[in-house]
Amino acid sequence: MSSKLRLILTWNIRPGREQEYSLFVNDRLAPGLVEIGLPPHDVYYTTYGRVPQIMVVLEVSDQSHLQQALSSTQWQTMKRELLQYIEDYQERIVEASDGEGYF
C-alpha cells in the first residue's frame, strides 16, 4: 500500500470575486503550493450541480511532510488570502490510491 497522502480541498468561488480569485490562484496559490511541497495532482471545476465548484487534490509523500507544509507561514498566508475569495471551504486527507486517478 502507498504511503503517499492526498489533501483534498473543496470550495465555491464567492459571487463577484471570480476575476480576483483567478488572478490569485494563477499568480500566488498554484506556485506557492509547489514551493511548500504540495504540488497539485488534480484540479476540477464543476459548472453544474450541487457539489463544490472547485476541488483541488494535492499530493504529498507522507504525514510528516504534510504537517510541515500545513504549519508553514506561507500556507497560512495563502489560505487566509484564499478565504477572501471563496466560501464553503473544506479539506480532508486520504491515502493515495496506487492508480493514477480519483485519489
Domain residue spans in the chain?
5-95
Model confidence pLDDT, tens digit, residues 33-61: 999 999 999 999 999 999 999 999 999 99
pTM of the model: 0.89
CATH class (in words) of the domain with range 5-95: alpha beta
- What is the phi/psi pair of residue 46, to 5°? -100, 130
Spell out the residues 6+ positions from residue 41 whose beta carbon is closer than 8 angstroms to its own.
Answer: 6, 57, 58, 59
Model confidence pLDDT, tens digit, residues 58-99: 999 999 999 999 999 999 999 999 999 999 999 999 998 766
- List C-alpha distances in Å: 67 to 36, 79, 83: 11, 15, 20
Model pLDDT, residue 81: 98
Model pLDDT, residue 3: 78
